[in-house]
Structure 1
Amino acid sequence: MSWSNWSGLLLICLLGAMSPGPSLAMVTRHALAGGKRNGFAIAWAHAAGVGMYALLTMFGLAVLLHQSPRLFMVLTLLGAAYLTYLGLRALMSQGGIAQTLEAGNPESAAQAARDGLMISLLNPKLALFFIALFSQFVQPGSDTLAHFTLVATPFVIDGLWYTLVTLLLVHPAVLEKLRARSRLIDRLSGVVLILLAVRVFVTALA
């Protein structure tokens, strides 16, 4: 892969990782509730899902979904359903993030990782990203190093971005202010996730 092609891939992956959406809402919630451990867990589990999409794209995901719109519809609706579940869970949480910590029963790193992996694998925006943009960098006859670069770049960029987000969120000066508004953050994240789910449903069924 040439330097210019990799630079283009890097820029696209950066913009994709930094765009706000359900992933950012969930990383925020887990980082505030479970600290660095949970924040890092969800960040790199989410990145693993992104890496899986990159790997699948190299093996023909873009072609498969283009030829089978029904498969893409199923993926989209599953993603919307999972967003709805996450939104309802946030809305119905008992007392917010700070109260969860005080009760001594915060969600585990494994639960954070599960949410990170699922929200990336069931995110239709990621599927569209890899079909419309990432697939352009997949070239027939590429060598092993090029294939490794294509998978590693989005994986590393996504993981590092949400790691940075976690580190910013758990900074003492920021953390106390956010935890004081934990109930509001729970409610807002729930509303955002449900609104995103509604938009996905409407777009898919239009």
Structure 2
Amino acid sequence: MELTTWLSLVAICVMGAISPGPSLAVILRVTIAQTPLHGVLAAISHALGLGFWALLSMQGLAVVMAKHQQAFFVLSILGGVYLAWLGLKAIRYAGIGGEVKIEGVTSSYWQSARDAFLVALMNPKAALFFLALFSQFVQADMSVLLKLQLWATVVVIDGGWYTLVALLLAGGPALSWLRRHRIWVDRGMGGLLILLGMKVVIG
């Protein structure tokens, strides 16, 4: 995989991770109500939940590519259109719904990890997003190592960001700044998604 291609995936994953939403609310709730260690376990668990969708998407795309090359081409184009549409939507509604509500208390490491894992796992939009995103990266001759690289990129960035939130940023000025400037985070991610989608559609 070319470095520039991989960096585009990294950028989208980073922008998606730092954008305030339900996942951030769960990690903050766990960290503030309990301890940073609870937050770290929740961050790792959340990343593994997203990793499940990422792995499922890659495997599904690999099967389609191997057996139905034309169908994969159509899926790739549709994926590019979908990513562009998500980008337009992110720009149009940038900053809306940026308030992250922190409520509820968990009482154990297991409950903290479970809550974060379920937030990621019970999000069908994640499956659709990864199908669209990975349709732009999966190739017919892609090795297991490259697939692992894609999977690890998603898991490490998501888990790394929320671990950072739990250890350093919870309740600090950095997260307050992100909340105040969510509109620019949303616009930045929207622009990246549009560019990636157009790259595929236009060829």
State the TM-score, normalizing by the size of structure 2. 0.60
Map of 2:47 onto structure 1: 47
| In structure 1, distance between residues paired with 2:61 and 2:117 | 18
| In structure 2, distance between residues paired with 1:61 and 1:163 | 30
Map of 1:56 onto structure 2: 56
| Deviation per residue, 1:155-191 (Å, 9 max, x gap) | 00000000111123457xx4xxxxxxxxxxxxxxxxx
| In structure 2, distance between residues paired with 1:35 and 1:170 | 10
Map of 1:130 onto structure 2: 130
Map of 1:111 onto structure 2: 111
| In structure 2, distance between residues paired with 1:110 and 1:135 | 34
Q: Which has the higher helix share?
A: 1
Percent of aligned positions that are identical? 50
Shift of 1:139: 1.5
| In structure 2, distance between residues paired with 1:114 and 1:12 | 26
SS where residue 140 of structure 2 aligns? Answer: coil
Shift of 1:20: 1.6
| In structure 2, distance between residues paired with 1:61 and 1:138 | 7
* Alignment RMSD: 2.6
Q: What is the aligned residue count?
A: 137
Moved more, 127-136 or 117-126: 127-136
State the TM-score, normalizing by the size of structure 1. 0.60
| In structure 1, distance between residues paired with 2:28 and 2:135 | 30
Structure 1: where are the runs of 5+ without partners? 67-89, 98-105, 175-206
Partner amino acid for 2:30? H
Map of 2:23 onto structure 1: 23
Structure 1 moving runs of 4+ over 4 Å: none
Map of 2:158 onto structure 1: 158
